[in-house]
Structure 1
């Protein structure tokens, strides 16, 4: 679908085209051949194996220049799908080992690539700094310091990703408090591998305004009503959920029912090459599954932009691009 799109839930390393990672590994003579299938795509068996493959792929990204190249490669794919604004999760865990000085160098390279892509591809990028849940709360504090020290026009948010079954959201409250005090806006992965209580915990203990995934709220209709009443935005990644086996198919995915019940849903790809998807494909499959027309998708794009963590000037600049009469 060629409509202009806004994406709020994209992991930068997870969006790396397999050919890009394979080529970088060959340049550096690093053998990660075991993470690829015969057709050249990423190979994994389940979510927990996916995390290992993800980290193996990321291991070849060892310099700011690598991340500059990665960012351009990812945004080129986004632009092909009509994405005009994108927020990506960035982890100082991978970018400089949580060292603030190194993190600044990586961040500068990513932001520079984002500026180049905005000029040449028409897609605007912003960053959400994100500790990895299964690395633990102490390392998250170092990530939060990196986030707080670099908050600004480009670094606009703070989140939490990784294995939802490790620890509790409240374990990371200190880090989220630091990010909040630095003026960053907050999101958290929840309600993907655990049920509604995981979402409630994130909302209560971390006071986030968006939930990454959040689809298992559908198992508790009182929570669904609460999300709708409070305007909590869900960063829904249907193709990811289906590829990982959380739901058996597109028509069985709860995004349709969540939208019908008034929840603010958005659409994203999560880690697109891992899940053989693109933003254009997500829109096409959702249109087939739920008979959504152009009006629904324009509404979702506006909801996404309203929920974006960027500054008001950036939002005002992007908004006209989503209108039907935009040339």
Structure 2
């Protein structure tokens, strides 16, 4: 009997797919609270006697859709509930360390974790003390776990643009001291993206990477606004830029990387299933793509899971997966000397 993978004559067996957890990769799209382990959420809630909704307990991961305002409100409510379990400095340090451990286990060599300090300021003494705490936790976890780490400070689209300027100035103060980028998150359908341009100008003058969310819920026009008005270096998601060929061509020409999070795209109803996520079209156009997990706490899939999902959905070969990993490294804020070493390790993974 021929073994599985043998040809009809009992000849050479096709090589097994390489292990994705061994593929070096950078993680550029991971939200702070959303990085929390589910088990940690349950443990911290039990410690303080906090009641969690069923969607975060026995029905986890929750069934989500952001196709309308009600769906996004439910998603945001679950995120806010999860954030409420972070009550002490040790909780914050634990979250950061576990995020580092999880990425390292998935082959991550560099992690940029995104946080809006204003969402935690009331409990931790203000945006500056909280930022200090996060940066110290990141430095400690990076050193002890052995993974490169940095912070992206993000403003909230649902708040006033003046609040975003405050956060941009905060980010600028920490440029070169652990903060590498400035972002804009939450529901794309809220607020006017153009109104946040002054905040991004502050971050741009400080030399930070500009990484707003766009091109997901509102499609290609929101991605265009991020590129034209906010001068985006990377687009959080950016997946629906594929719907505007001229915009996609511009993105490729300008080297704007796309932080594609396929599992969350499907969970939020942007696409019906993984095979509908237009990753092959982006790659065929020459776009730089970095796969990200977005919010594993709510979507149930971490970094290597994004690669596995796209491998299965689009029958990606190992050369294509390696190129995705290269794109993530090149688009990161990691030191160039580190990038060179990691790119060599990716080549070794592919040739091994």
Query: How many residues in Structure 1 have an aligned counterpart in Structure 2?
Result: 326
Partner Cα distance (2:303, 2:324) in 1: 13
The equivalent position to 1:9 in structure 2, one of 29, 34, 54, is: 29
Q: Give deviations 1:81-113, integer Å, cap 9, x for gaps.
A: 1111111111111232599x7434333333333
Q: In the alignment, which of 176, 192, 201 is matched to residue 177 of structure 1?
A: 201
Question: Could you tell me which of 201, 224, 249 is aligned with 1:225?
Answer: 249
Question: 1:51 maps to which residue?
Answer: 76
TM normalised by structure 2 equals 0.85
SS in 1 for 2:211: strand
Q: Give the CA deviation at 1:41.
A: 4.0
For 1:63 and 1:195, the matched residues in 2 are separated by: 39
Segments of 5+ residues of structure 1 without an aligned counterpart are none
Bigger Rg, structure 1 or 2: 2
Which residue of 220, 224, 227 maps to 1:200? 224
CA deviation map 1:65-91 (0-9, x unaligned): 321111112222212211111111111
Does 1:18 find its partner at 2:38?
A: yes
Q: Give 1:1-327 correspondences, 5 Å limit.
A: 1-2=20-21, 3-33=23-53, 36-42=56-62, 44=64, 46-97=71-122, 102-316=126-340, 318-324=342-348
Kindly indicate whether the alpha-carbon contact (under 8 Å) linking 1:18 and 1:42 is maintained by their aligned counterparts in 2.
no
Deviation, 1:188, is 0.8
SS of the aligned residue for 1:188 comes to strand
Q: Do 2:155 and 2:185's aligned partners in 1 also have CA atoms closer than 8 Å?
A: yes
Secondary structure at 2:140's aligned position in 1? helix
Does the C-alpha gap of structure 1 residues 206 and 234 become closer, same or farther in structure 2, counting only changes over 3 Å? same
* Deviation string, structure 1 residues 264-316 (Cα, Å, up to 9, x no partner): 11111100131121222211121122221221122111211111123434434
How high is the TM-score relative to the length of structure 1?
0.91
Gaps of 5+ in 2: 1-19, 66-70
Q: What is the DSSP-based 3-state SS (H/G/I as helix, E as strand, rest coil) of the residue aligned with 1:8?
A: strand
1:234 and 1:266 in contact (8 A); partners too:
yes
Shift, 1:170, TM fit: 1.2
d(CA) in 1 for partners of 2:74 and 2:274?
A: 23
| Counterpart Cα distance in 2 of 1:238 and 1:90 | 21
Deviates further, 28-37 or 263-272: 28-37
